[in-house]
Structure 1
Amino acid sequence: MSSQNPRASAIMPVYNREEYLKETIDSVLNQTFTDFEFIIIDDGSSDRSVEIIKSYKDPRIKLFLNDKNSGTSYSRNRGIDLSSGDYIITIDSDDINLPQRFATQIAYMDSHPEVGICGSWVKTIGEVAGELWRCAVNPEIVHCRTLFEAVLCHPSTIIRRKYLDEYSLRYSVELKRAQDWDLYCRGARHFQITNIPEVLVYYRWRKYGKNLSDEELMSQKYYYFYEIDKRNFQALNLQPTEQEMLVHRRLGNSELKKDQDFVLESNLWLDKLFGANQIAKVYPQSTFLQVLAGYWWEVCSYASDSPLQAVSQFFNSPYLDIKSQSATSKAKLLGKSLVKKSYFSLKNALKRS
């Protein structure tokens, strides 16, 4: 490694991860790209985590101990402030980084100075193994979809330090979960965010319940969703009702309903978002319509008994402006909507505290 500042700083908060920690550390130290420092912040572990970390003699490892358990946002922010690399590489303490991850992402960022945050595709391991998460690649689509969900798999991301400092971006310590999504929402208003369409991380994933009731989804347990939603709606100059907030969360979390009331409410809300953005101009409007149509397609396909019925309902959108589009535009919207897929939101927000 160079005697000057390293090109990158890999930052990993740790809290009681003795079961998986060695495998994760090995995956970082065995990268083909070697010019990096590995900053590990232990957040008050009571297991063997610190002992495992101290057993390594690699000079790239820099271990710091928090005085008390302070949460992942505090730990990541502390790691950023202690780091000296041009790039911040996010590491979770139970995942596996493929050997070419750092080299691939740093080469991409070097050749794309307009990009501030870049993730990758991932494969899942653990309780739910073998899933391939194909994250959105087009920066405009990523930007638009941050209104609903995280879009990037956080432990696969690399962040340009210059932009963190230039736009005063850090993780929100007041949010206990989904801090990454909040960072993407704020960052995407200043620079491009994207994903490399290549698996670079094996992401440990476990089972979570689905089909939440309205009461469950509106409970204090999921307050962080609504805190981030409120910030996004402020940018659009929107003050949604409680029911509209709930509809938005069901769309973002893929917690859909089959009843026609929900179908109609969803279409009306998507149209309201489209109209608000016409005035506020937060998101590129043509891409925004494409993304909103993608969510509308998910509602139609979930509520329909057949693909033909879903297509019919999609084109007969009562509020969102699809019916008035030309035949070619309709076909393009449908085609792009068919490949729209949500992987994160609820999954990403619930994974770790």
Structure 2
Amino acid sequence: MEFITVLLPVFNGASFIERALKSILGQSYPYFSLLIIDDGSTDNTAAVLAEASKKDHRIKVHYNRKNLGLIHTLNLGINLANTDLIIRADVDDYSLPERFIKLVNFMKKNPDVGICGSWLEYNNGRDYVQQKYPHNHNDIKFSFIRGCYFSHGTAILRKSVVTKNQIFYNPEFPHAEDYEWLTRLTKVTKLANLPEILYEVTIHDQQVSYKYRDVQIQNTNLVRTKFVEQELMLELTQRQKNIYLWLLTWAPKPTEVTLDEVYHLISNFQSANQKTKAFADQCFAQFLQELWKRAVIFNNRRSLSTLRLVFSSKFPFVGTFSFGEKFKIIFKIILKPLKEN
């Protein structure tokens, strides 16, 4: 059986780590070394790790002399790993017993896949909520237009793919580093998700999504626009990025947005995708239709120009609206004095 490395970074995780260790050491696949990197913890983490390493020879602990942060610690862990296959784990999460063997077997059967995750379950102490992700490469890549629909903590990866292509985590995107890293990996390898729950994420108020929510949202939006530019080979202005994020995520609406602007942006996206073939035409067309529908419905400047853009037979997204939706648009315009834009 192939020997693998389990990479577990930890910072002040004494209250969670024993449960995580129990789930890892109790895996049905025993052929691994557990590389734990203590990133300068100031709580009782070091003592817990010292005791655990005495009981199981598979545990190897590396202590950072000072707190380097998650991004640098993950990059260090990849470099320290002495196996090609690396399984990720987080200190406050739980791996189901068959997780490792199912991930390893999948990677053996699919040498063209560089990283594979799985579905997961969120546990907030009261309820369990399942999270399912797209499982083939094209669908995962397409989902990255909207956000990070891949759980980094569930993943197994090939070190050789990362080191050969020098695709390490980028410190310029704190708290969205996994999303940015994954978008770059799509250029050099295939991604996959096993369509079954193998991992449990614990929800608590010390998580990144709680403590650094504003920074995470800001950097996630940076990755969203960066990914679209990368795949469509476009260079968007800041205003175009802002309009796109408004349509995609309900970010603050830029001032004085016109449907002509949105039409021009969406048309550029469509033309660019026809050239780059980055995304399947039908899926991408449906995505653009969704953006257009939002733009029209939330357009405050309802006028004759609006009607022309919505109902023109030459417009490529004319099929976006149902008869009922078109009627509502006309009704709203009638309620306002008709004027030319």
TM-score band (shorter)? 0.7 to 0.9
Q: Is the 8 A contact 1:171 1:180 kept in 2?
A: yes
Distance 1:52-1:220 versus aligned 2 partners, 3 A rule: closer
**Structural mapping, 1:215-230, within 5 Å:** 222-230=217-225
1:52 paired to 2:48: yes
Separation in structure 2 between the aligned mates of residue 294 and residue 25 of structure 1, nearest angstrom:
44
Structure number with greater CO (CA < 8 Å, separation at least 6) is: 1
Structure 1 counterpart of 2:72, from 74, 78, 89: 74
Superposed CA offset, 1:29-59 (max 9, x none): 1110111111111111100111111111211
**Unaligned runs of at least 5 residues, structure 1:** 211-216, 304-314, 331-353
1:276 equivalent in structure 2: 272
Aligned amino acid, residue 176 of structure 1 = P
| Partner AA of 1:224 in structure 2 | N
Q: Is the 8 A contact 1:98 1:201 kept in 2?
A: yes
Shift of 1:279: 2.6
Alignment of 1:129-168 (within 5 A): 129-168=127-166
> 1:228, 1:46 → 2: CA distance?
32
- Could you tell me whether the CA contact under 8 Å between 2:116 and 2:156 is conserved in 1? yes
Displacement of 1:243 after TM fit?
A: 3.7
CA distance in 1, matches of 2:150, 2:73: 20
Cα distance in structure 2, aligned partners of 1:115 and 1:317 = 45
Alpha-carbon separation, structure 1, partners of 2:78 and 2:312: 46
1:191 shift after superposition: 1.5
For residues 51 and 223 of structure 1, what CA distance do their matches in structure 2 show?
Answer: 36
Distance 2:262 2:125 in 1: 33
CA distance, structure 2, for counterparts of residue 273 and residue 283 of structure 1: 11
Q: CA–CA distance in 2 between the matches of 1:114 and 1:35? A: 23
Question: 1:209-267 CA distances to partner (integer Å, 9 max, x unpaired)?
Answer: x9xxxxxx9x767442344245321453323233432343355547699xxx6999777
The match for 1:25 is 21
Task: Supply the RMSD in Å over aligned alpha carbons.
Answer: 3.7
1:333 is matched with none
Deviations 1:177-216 (A, max 9, x none): 11111111001112211211100001123589x9xxxxxx
* Number of the residue aligned with 2:33: 37
- List gaps (5 residues or longer) in structure 2: 299-309, 323-341
Taking structure 1 as reference, are residues 106 and 235 closer, same or farther at Cα in structure 2, changes over 3 Å only? same
> Partner of 1:343 in structure 2?
none
| Native 8 Å contact 2:144 2:224 kept in 1 | no
**One-letter identity of the residue aligned with 1:246:** N
Partners of 2:93 and 2:37 in 1: CA distance: 16
Q: Offset of 1:317 from its aligned partner?
A: 10
Question: SS in structure 2 opposite 1:118?
Answer: strand
**Which residue identity is paired with 1:49?**
T
TM superposition shift of 1:318: 9.5
1:128 Cα deviation (Å)? 7.5
Q: Helix, strand or coil: the match of 2:128?
A: coil
1:99 equivalent in structure 2: 97
Once residues 111 and 104 of structure 1 are traced to their aligned partners in structure 2, the CA distance between those partners, rounded to angstroms, is: 11
Displacement, 1:173? 2.4
Q: Relative to 1, partners in 2 of residues 1:8 and 1:291: Cα closer, same or farther, differing over 3 Å?
A: farther
| In the alignment, structure 1 residue 12 sits paired with structure 2 residue 3 | no
Over residues 132-182 of structure 1, what are the superposed CA-to-partner deviations in whole Å (9 max), with x where a residue is unaligned? 111111311211222331110111111122211222221112321111111
1:338 corresponds in structure 2 to: none
Q: Given residue 114 of structure 2, which amino acid in structure 1 is its aligned partner?
A: G
Q: Tell me which amino acid in the other structure corresponds to 1:157.
A: A
Task: Give the Cα–Cα distance (whole angstroms) in 1 for the partners of residues 103 and 312 of structure 2.
Answer: 40
Encode CA deviations 1:97-152: one digit per residue, 9 max, x unaligned: 10100011111111111211111111101267421111111311211222331110
Which residue is equivalent to 1:231?
A: 226
Tell me how far apart the structure 1 counterparts of residues 230 and 165 of structure 2 sit (CA, whole Å): 19
Distance 1:192 1:323, change over 3 A: farther
Stretch of structure 1 that moved more, 93-102 or 145-154: 145-154
- The residue aligned with 2:187 is 189
* Aligned positions, number: 302
Larger Cα Rg: Structure 1 or Structure 2?
Answer: 2
